[in-house]
Chain A
Amino acid sequence: MHRIFVAALFLIGLSGCFGSGGPELGIVEGTVKLDGQPLEGATISFVPAAGGRTAEGFTDAEGHYAVEFAAGAKGALLGEHKVRITTLKEKVMSDSGRVADPGIPEKVPARFNSETELIRDVQPGQNIFDLDLQSK
Chain B
Amino acid sequence: MSKITDTPHLSVACWSPFSCSKRRNAFTLVELLVVIAIIGVLIALLLPAVQQAREAARRMQCTNNLKQIGLALHNYHDTYQKFPNSYQPDKARWSVSSVPEGESALWTWTSFILPQVEQQNLYDSLQVGHLPGEVSLDDATRLGIAQSGFAGYQCPSSAAPPLNSERKIPAGSGGNADCTDAGCVEVATANYVCANDSHNLDRDNWNGFMGNDRTPSGFMTVSFADIVDGTSNTIAVGERTWQLASRTLRASTQLLMNGDSPNVSLQGNAYISAGGRWSLNCTNSQDCDRGFSSNHPGGAEFLLVDGSVHFISETIDHDTNSSVNSAYEYLICLDDGNPVDLP
Contacts and interface: CB of A to CB of B under 8 A. Distances in A.
Contact of B37 (A8, A15, A96): A8
Interface stretch (A32-40, A48-56, A117-125): A48-56
Nearest to B265: A101
Interface residues of A, number: 37
A18 B261 contact: no
Given A45-B321, A54-B318, A54-B319, A95 B259 contact: yes
A98 B315 contact: no
Classify chain B: how many residues form its interface, as a range.
35 or more
Contacts of B90: none
Nearest to A74: B284
A128 interface: no
B136 interface: no
Given A22-B298, A56-B282, A90 B321 contact: no
Nearest to A66: B284
B308 interface: no
A82 B69 CA distance: 39
Residue among A84, A92, A93, A96 with the highest chain B CB neighbour number at 10 A: A96
Interface stretch (B97-105, B113-121, B331-339): B97-105
Interface string B258-294: 0111111001100000000001011111000000010
A90 B202 CA distance: 12
A56 B285 CA distance: 10
Contact of A15 (B44, B264, B279): B44
A53 B260 contact: no
Interface in A8-62: 8, 11-12, 14-15, 18, 21-23, 45, 47, 51-54, 56-58
A58 B259 contact: no
Contacts of A21: 298
Contacts of B285: 56, 58
Contact of A1 (B18, B264, B279, B298): B18
A53 B200 contact: no
A88 B176 CA distance: 27
Interface in A65-107: 67-68, 70-72, 84, 90, 92-98, 100-101
Contacts of A71: 244-245, 247, 281-283, 293, 314
Given A52-B317, A71-B245, A101-B264, A94 B101 contact: yes
B320 A54 contact: yes
A122 B188 CA distance: 44
Contacts of A92: 261-264
A95 to B, nearest CB: 4
Nearest to A23: B315
A11 B41 contact: yes
Contacts of A8: 34, 37-38, 41
Contacts of A97: 98
Contacts of A56: 279, 282, 284-285, 320
Given A54-B319, A92-B262, A14 B45 contact: yes
A114 interface: yes
A4 interface: yes
Contacts of A96: 98, 100-101
A11 B260 contact: no
B319 A47 contact: yes
B317 A53 contact: yes
Interface in B36-52: 37-38, 41-42, 44-45, 48
A-B CB proximity, top 8 nearest: A96-B100, A95-B98, A68-B284, A100-B261, A72-B245, A94-B261, A11-B41, A71-B283
25 contacts: A1-B18, A12-B44, A15-B48, A21-B298, A45-B320, A47-B319, A47-B321, A51-B326, A52-B318, A53-B315, A53-B316, A57-B284, A67-B284, A70-B279, A71-B283, A71-B293, A84-B321, A92-B261, A94-B100, A94-B260, A94-B264, A94-B267, A95-B98, A100-B101, A100-B177
